[in-house]
Amino acid sequence: MMDKTIVELHDLLKEGKVTSDELVKESIKKSHEVQEKCNAFETILDDAKGTEVTDDLLSGIPFGIKDNYSTKGILSTGSSNTLKDYVPFFTATAIENLLKHGCVPTNKTCMDEFGMGGTGTSGHTGVQKNPWDTTRQCAGSSSGSAAAVASGVYPFATGSDTGDSIRKPAAFCGIVGYKPTYGMISRYGLFAFASSLDHCGVLARTVEDAAIAVDAMKGKDPKDMTTWDSSSIHLYDDLNKDVKGKKLFYIKELVDKSNYKNLPKETEEHLDNFIKVVETAKELGMEVEEVSIDQKLLNAIASVYVVLSCAEATSNMSNLTGFSFGPRGEGETFQEIMKDHRTKGFSSLIKRRFVIGSYVLQTVNQERYFKNAQRARRLIVDVIKKQFKKYDGMILPVGIGPAKKLVNDEMVTDDELTALDEHLQIGNFGGFPSITIPDGFVSNLPVGVNITGNCYNDQTVLNIAYALQEKMSYKNQIAKEVK
């Protein structure tokens, strides 16, 4: 049953062919199976009960919550030992909004610790395995949500996206990942990683389900000053396949095979597949053009991201001292107690990032690293915004191919592939609406394509993705394990 879409489930619920309780039970049962196979969950809410079915599409429908959303009375760890037994007393606004629609959380999903990491391997309970091939990554940081949605635990789960944390795991798991314009969904109650880049969003198996979920999550929130009024936007109601005349561009330097010296076979297939998708877009009546962007700027994306995200993270996570919440450290002085808590609580990856963040913010380094990264961020955003004057969206392949191997990965990312691997971060720099949908298979594993548009043009971005989804044949994919 859980392989169905929200609308299909809603119809079944309304017709009385299934009850909300039955859906919830199935979702919990499925959660335990997926936990065995993929290690996708921090908490499975075994006591969850169905809710009343109303005309609301989400009523009675099970869903998952990434563990960096604060949930009242439910363990919320951010997959970190620093919060391993933290049970919040308030719920994130985005989750509160969903609960108002009557959907039922059945689990909290694993992630890279506090969203820092793109592999799904750094959470405190171990790695998340890709449901298509358990020897591969889900990518991250919304690794558990991606594995669960792809495995058919429920139609959707929340995610968060600071670099590409929704959109890349969605691609690796063959599903849809959507992060709307910055400020459309309140971040109140989302554990902060890098506030100027953090977005809430959703992982689902269809563009429609992603639209329904974000319609419910979004809204101006007096608790988050960066939110804006989107009450006139109805993403699901206004979905429209007719995209004739819409104009898209892709970045030549990223997509042109001749730009790479050593192109791995899977990447080559991935790029070839992308060009097919471009042709599909054209068949839908869209214009797709190649645009050249300064390679230097593209090469800067990943470093700019590291500098800015690490800097904000080191400050944002200074509240994790183990005094008011989290396990209390040992020691004689408050410094010792705090040091002990942080030394034991954080993984080495996070500590490394704190060191970078702290270094680039130091007065002597700030101009050279942090301020320059801010300038480069603005340059990159300006260049892309300039294109958005002419184009409705940017279309690009997600990553350098299908999911990477968990161990002994032969596809160690070559420097010349970095920009292709990390370009989704542009969406976070500009706060742009950005959606990934599955666009085919490479080595029998799913790959994805991304559409990114200008701020507030979420509807256009979703419509383009929707039209492509309907034209291609990867809608509502459930992971089938490939051996």
The answer to whether 175 touches 130, Cβ cutoff 8 Å, is no
Cβ neighbours of residue 110 closer than 8 Å, sequence gap 6 or more: 39, 40, 41, 42, 67, 79, 120, 123, 125, 128, 143, 144
Helices (H) and strands (E) in the chain, counts: 16, 13
Between 130 and 186, name the residue whose CB sits nearer to another protein: 186
Nearest alpha carbon to residue 130 among 477, 426, 405: 405
Q: How far is the CB of 72 from another protein (least distance, A)?
A: 11
Q: Compute the distance between CA of residue 91 and CA of residue 27 in angstroms, rounded to an integer.
A: 22
Q: Is 66 a catalytic residue?
A: yes
Q: Chain-centre distance of CA 250, in angstroms?
A: 21
The answer to whether 61 touches 154, Cβ cutoff 8 Å, is yes
Q: How far is the CB of 310 from another protein (least distance, A)?
A: 12
Q: How far is the CB of 265 from another protein (least distance, A)?
A: 41
The type of residue at 438 is: P
Q: Is 165 a catalytic residue?
A: yes
Between 68 and 477, name the residue whose CB sits nearer to another protein: 68
Q: How far is the CB of 267 from another protein (least distance, A)?
A: 34
Q: How far is the CB of 260 from another protein (least distance, A)?
A: 35
- Ramachandran quadrant class, 408 (left: phi over 0; alpha: psi -120 to 50; beta: rest): left
Cβ neighbours of residue 336 closer than 8 Å, sequence gap 6 or more: 329, 330
Q: How far is the CB of 362 from another protein (least distance, A)?
A: 5
268 burial class (0-12, 13-18, 19+ CB within 10 angstroms)?
Answer: middle
Residue of 27, 76, 141, 142 marked catalytic: 141
Q: Compute the distance between CA of residue 58 and CA of residue 81 in angstroms, rounded to an integer.
A: 33
- Site for another protein, rule CB under 8 A: 68-70, 76, 78, 83, 86, 88-90, 92, 187-192, 195-196, 222-226, 311-312, 314-315, 317-321, 323-325, 334-335, 338, 358, 361-363, 366, 370
Between 363 and 408, name the residue whose CB sits nearer to another protein: 363
Between 135 and 318, name the residue whose CB sits nearer to another protein: 318
- Ramachandran quadrant class, 115 (left: phi over 0; alpha: psi -120 to 50; beta: rest): left
Between 54 and 195, name the residue whose CB sits nearer to another protein: 195
Q: Is 292 a catalytic residue?
A: no
Between 92 and 166, name the residue whose CB sits nearer to another protein: 92
Residue of 30, 66, 108, 168 marked catalytic: 66
Segment (H or E) for 172:
helix 167-172
Catalogue the active-site residues. Answer: 66, 141, 165
